[in-house]
Amino acid sequence: MDLTTKYMGLQLAHPFMPGASPLDEDLDMVARLEDAGASAIVMHSLFQEEVAPGALATDRYLEQLLRIKRRVRIPVIASLNGTTAEGWLKYATLVERAGADAIELNYYHVATDLLEDSAGVEQRLVDIVAVLKESIVIPLAVKLSPFYSALPHLAAELDRIGADGLVLFNRFYQPGIDPVTRAPVPQLRYSDASDLLLRLSWIAILSGRVRPSLALTGGAHQPLDAVNAVMAGADVVQLVSALLKGGPSRLTAIRDGFARWGDEHGFASVGEMRGCVSLSSRQHPERFERANYLNVLKPGRFPATRWAGH
C-alpha cells in the first residue's frame, strides 16, 4: 500500500504525525519520533499570553524551532495559540523566517461575552487568518473547536480566504470546582476512543467539499482508528495522547497496523482509501446525517432496562 500523502502541499511519507504537545521540548524525544517514523513534527504552541509580557518566550520558541530543524529531516510545523490579530502577524513572520515549514493557528476561544453574536465570533477568526495569509508564504492550518453553530460555512469562509488546512478539533478543557476554596480546578485528561466519533463525523462532512487539507486530532489510538479517520477524509492524523501514554513506538505500531489493514483489504494507496465514506461520496448527501440519526434511534437499538424492584 502506498502510504504517501500530501498535507497543505507538503509531501509526506504517510499520514501520521505527533500533534502539538510538550513532546518536542526534548530534542532527544524529537529524534526518537523521527526514528519511529513520524512524517512531520507539530511543535508545542507559542501562547499569546506568554509573548505579551516580553520577548523571552518568543526567543526560546524560535531557538527550539531552529534546533529541531537542524536535528530532523522531516517538515516542522510551528503552532501559535491565541484569539486576536494583534501581534500574531509579527510572530508568524518570525517563525517563518526561522525555517518553519508551515504554521498551525490554534484558535482556542470560548465565547463568554453576552453581547458578541455567533457571526462576530466567526468573523474574528476569519479576520486573523486573512491577515496572516496576506503576510506569510508558508502554509497555514487553522485548528478549530467543534462548537461553531455553522461549522461548514466557517470552513468555506476559511477556504475562500486561503487557509491551507483545517485541524479538527482542539479540546475544550473544562475545569472542575473545589467546593472549599470555591475556585476552578484545572483538569487534564488524555483523549480516548469516545473523542473520535465527533471528529470522524465532521471530517466526513467536510471532506471533498472544501479545498484545505483536513487533519484529525483527538481520539486516535489504534490502527483501526486511523483507518476510520482516512476513510472519513482525513489527509493526516495527529497523535498526542497515544504518544504520551505509549511513547514513539506507538506511532510506528499505528502506521504499520494501518498499512497491514489496507493491504489485507485491497487498498493500493492512502488516496484510494481517503474519503470513501465521506458525505460527498454518498448518493444522497442531503439525507446523510438525518438518516444516521434516525437509524440510531430505531426501536431495538437500546438494551432492555431492568429497573430495581421489577
Going along the chain from its start, the domains and CATH numbers come out as 5-283 (3.20.20.70)
Cell of 226: 486511523
Closest CA to 142 of 160, 111, 170, 167: 167
pLDDT at 310 over 70: no
Cα 92 from Cα 108, distance rounded (Å):
17
pLDDT at 152 over 60: yes
pLDDT at 105 over 50: yes
More confident residue, 301 or 236: 236
Q: pTM score, two decimals?
A: 0.91
* Torsion angle (degrees, nearest 10) of CA 161, 162, 168, 174: -50
- End-to-end alpha carbon distance in the chain: 55
| The pLDDT value given to residue 226 | 98
Residue 139 has pLDDT above 60, yes or no: yes
Percent of the chain with pLDDT over 70: 89
Average of per-residue pLDDT across 52-70: 88
pLDDT in the model for residue 21: 95
Q: How much of the chain, in percent, has pLDDT values that exceed 90? A: 74
What pLDDT is stored for residue 17 in this prediction?
A: 98
Please tell me the predicted confidence (pLDDT) of residue 87: 66
Residue 291 confidence class, pLDDT cut points 50, 70, 90: low
AA letter at 272: E
Average pLDDT over residues 121-136: 93
Res. 307: pLDDT tops 60: no
Identify the residue with better confidence: 274 or 285: 274
Mean pLDDT of the chain: 90
Q: Where are the alpha helices (DSSP H) in 136-282?
A: 151-160, 196-206, 223-232, 241-246, 249-264, 270-273
Report, as an integer, the average pLDDT of 284-288: 62
Please state the rounded mean pLDDT for residues 257-285: 92
Q: Under a CB-based contact definition with an 8 Å cutoff, are residues 14 and 4 in contact?
A: yes
Greatest distance between any 2 Cα atoms in the chain: 71
DSSP string, 82-108: -S-STTHHHHHHHHHHTT-SEEEEE--
Q: Tell me, what's the pLDDT at 110?
A: 81
Q: Which range, of 173-177, 224-228, 270-274, 290-294, averages the lowest pLDDT?
A: 290-294
Indicate the helix (H) or strand (E) that contains 216: strand 213-217
Quick one: average pLDDT of 196-203?
96
Instruction: Please list, residue by residue across 234-269, b when 16 or more beta carbons sit within 10 angstroms of its beta carbon and e when fewer do.
Output: bbbbbbbbbbeeeebebbbbbbebbbebbeeeebee
Q: Is pLDDT of 19 > 60?
A: yes
User: How many other CB atoms sit within 10 Å of the CB of residue 308?
Assistant: 4
